[in-house]
Structure 1
Amino acid sequence: MQDWNEAGVWQHLHELLLAELRAADMLNFSRAAVDSSHLREMRGGAATGPSPVDRGKTGSKHHLIVEAHGIPLAVTLTGGNRNDVTQLIPLIQAVPPIRDKRGRPLRRPRRIYADRGYDHDVYRDRVRRFQITPHIARRGTEHGSGLGIHRWVAEGAIALPHWFRRLRIRWERRDDIHQAFITLGCTTICWRRLKTSF
C-alpha cells in the first residue's frame, strides 16, 4: 500500500475511472457539492484532533467534493477538530483534470453547494476566483432555502466510503496511508458507478 501510494497509483487509478465516466457521459460538472464526516481513530498520528461531535475524543475527518450525480471527485483528510470551510479551497484544487478523447479536460464545476458549516464570505470570494459560483447556506436562516435539493448528493456520497469497514474507523497512524485508503474507496465507488452503465 505504501509503495503504491507514494508512486501515485491510487490517485492515477481514480483519475482514469473519472475519465471513463466522462467518456460514458456520466459526469455532470454543472455543479458540485461538498461535505464532511467524522471518524474515530484508534492509534493517534497526524491529521487527528478532538472531535466536537464525539465528546472530544480524538478523531479525523473525511472531506469530499462530488459532481452533480454524487460521484466523488476528490477527498481530503484532516483532524476531527478542523473547521469544514478550511477544506473548501483544497477540495476544489484537488479535483484533477478529467480528460476525454476530444475537447478540454474538465476541471472546475460551474457552481458549488455547501451547508452552513461553510458560511464565510471570505471563502465565497475565494471560490469566485476559480470562476465558480458559490451557493452556501447562511447561518441563522431558516431551513427551506432550496439549496438542499443540490446538496443532498454530497450528504449521501460522504456515507459511501463508510460502507468499507476499513474506512469506518481510522487504524493507521500515518495520515498518508489513510489518505490512500480513502482515495481507493472513492476509486471503488467510481468503478461501481461505471459498471452500472454497461
Structure 2
Amino acid sequence: ATGKWLKVFKELVAQPDMEWVFIDGSYAKAHQHSAGAASGNDEAIGKSRAGNTSKIHLAVDAHGLPIEFEITGGQINDCTQAPALIAKLPEAEAIVADKGYDSERVRQQVEQQGAKAVIPRKRNSVKGNADLDRGLYRNRHLVENAFAQLKHYRAVSSRFDKLKRNYESVVAMACAFLWLPM
C-alpha cells in the first residue's frame, strides 16, 4: 500500500473475518478522457465489449466487507488475476468464487494455502460439481452486494482518472467507507 487512502483502508481492515472469503470481478466503464495518460505505464484501462473499461477484482470477508482488491484492464480474465488476489489471503478458511475462477491452478493454490475451494466447475467439465458446498456458495451474494455498494460512488462506477494509482485510491476510499460504522 503506497497511497494514503490505501493505508487508511489497510488500517481499517486490521481484523477481518477470514472464515469465508468471497472473490469476484466487476467492470467499471472508463470515460473517454481517462484514456491516454502520458506516463507510458499500464494504467489498467482495457478494451472490452463495452469500450474502455477497468476491472475491479475484489475479495470480501464473511461479513461482506472488502479486504483486498486489484485493478486491471477490462479485458483481463478473472482466473488470471486470482493467484495474486488469493496470495494476499493466507488466513482464509474457505475461498468462494464463481465459474470465472474455475481452473485447476486456482484450486491448487487455494488448497496449498490450507483453504477450501468453493468454485463451481464449468458446464463442460469432466469432474462435475458433486463436491461443491452449495450452502456456502449461496452466500456469494455478499461480494455482489459489496460491488453494488461500491458503485454507489460515481467515481468508482465510472472511471474518470487517467492514472491507475489515482483510481486505486478512489476504490480504496470507497472500500474504507464501507468499513466505517454508519
TM-score of the superposed pair, with normalisation by structure 2 = 0.83
Structure 1 gap ranges (5+): 96-106
* 8 Å Cα contact 2:118/2:137 also seen in 1: no
Within 1, Cα distance between the matches of 2:134 and 2:155? 36
Contact 1:92 1:108 in 2 (8 A): no
Matched ranges for 1:26-37 at <5 A: 27-37=16-26
> Is the CA contact 1:38–1:51 (under 8 Å) kept in the aligned structure 2?
no
Matched, 1:87 2:84: no
What's the Cα RMSD here? 2.1
1:140-187 per-position Cα deviation (integer Å, ceiling 9, x unaligned): 169x94453221111111221111111111111111110111011101
Number of residue-to-residue matches in the alignment: 167
In structure 2, how many angstroms separate the alpha carbons of the residues matched to 1:86 and 1:119? 11
Pick the aligned partner of 1:155 from 116, 137, 144. Answer: 144
Instruction: Give 1:92 deviation, angstroms.
Output: 2.5
Between the aligned partners of 2:7 and 2:163, the Cα distance in structure 1 is 21
Structure 1 residues 1-198: aligned runs within 5 Å: 6=2, 8-19=3-14, 22=15, 27-42=16-31, 43-45=34-36, 46-52=43-49, 54=50, 57-95=51-89, 107-140=90-123, 145-191=134-180, 195-196=181-182
Instruction: Give the 3 Å change call, closer, same or farther, for CA 11–94 of structure 1 in structure 2.
Output: farther
Q: What is the alpha-carbon distance in structure 2 between the residues aligned to residue 62 and residue 190 of structure 1?
A: 18
Aligned partner of 1:187: which letter? A
TM, length-normalised to structure 1: 0.77
Q: Determine the C-alpha separation between the residues in 2 that align with 1:162 and 1:15.
A: 20
Q: Per-residue deviation at 1:12? A: 2.0
Stretches of structure 2 lacking an aligned partner (at least 5 in a row): 37-42
Q: Which 4+ residue blocks in structure 1 deviate beyond 3 angstroms?
A: 144-148
Give the C-alpha shift of residue 67 in structure 1.
0.5
2:39 matched residue in structure 1: none
Q: What is the identity percentage for the equivalent residue pairs of Structure 1 and Structure 2?
A: 28
3-state SS of 1:159 partner = helix
